[in-house]
Homo-oligomer: A and B are copies of this chain.
Amino acid sequence: MHKEHSLTKNQQIIFDLIDKSTEPLKAYSILFNVQKKGIKAPLQVYRALDKLVEIGKIHKIESRNAFIACHNSRCQVAKATAFSICEICEKVTEISSAGLSKYLANFKDKDGMKYSKYNLEFFGLCKKCR
């Protein structure tokens, strides 16, 4: 019996916050913002974040230790992610390019490594900051 991932209370609170945000959020900034909703401890935040990442509702921007909601509608599991990051204003955008994802999904290195997942972060200047 298949079941959509319905979020639990804490997961929903934290997802809503991230989803509303226009910028990536850091764990302790999330914690600060949900304390009035009864989430008091870092672990409660990290557990929800872990789960949300696992089911693909959010992504972690590794170079920034921050989290953004997935805006790639078909992305149910986080196995192929690409972002652009502005080095001045820190704006982060999820890249949705069929060509890019096809190229990377098919990429094989010479060691014969089989890849099940990748994360790509581009850095540069966004239109506004250029």
A positions within 8 Å CB-CB of B: 62-63, 84, 86-87, 93, 95, 97, 100, 103-104, 107, 109-127, 130
Contacts and interface: CB of A to CB of B under 8 A. Distances in A.
Given A93-B111, A107-B122, A112-B127, 19 more contacts: A62-B63, A84-B109, A93-B109, A93-B113, A95-B109, A100-B107, A109-B122, A113-B122, A113-B127, A114-B125, A115-B122, A115-B123, A115-B124, A116-B123, A116-B125, A117-B122, A118-B120, A118-B121, A118-B123
Q: How many copies does the complex hold?
A: 2
B124 A114 contact: yes
Contacts of A117: 122-124
A97 B130 CA distance: 30
Nearest to A127: B112
Contact of A119 (B95, B120, B130): B120
Residue among A87, A111, A113, A116 with most chain B CB within 10 A: A113
Contact of A113 (B114, B115, B120, B126): B126
Nearest to A86: B113
A117 B86 CA distance: 11
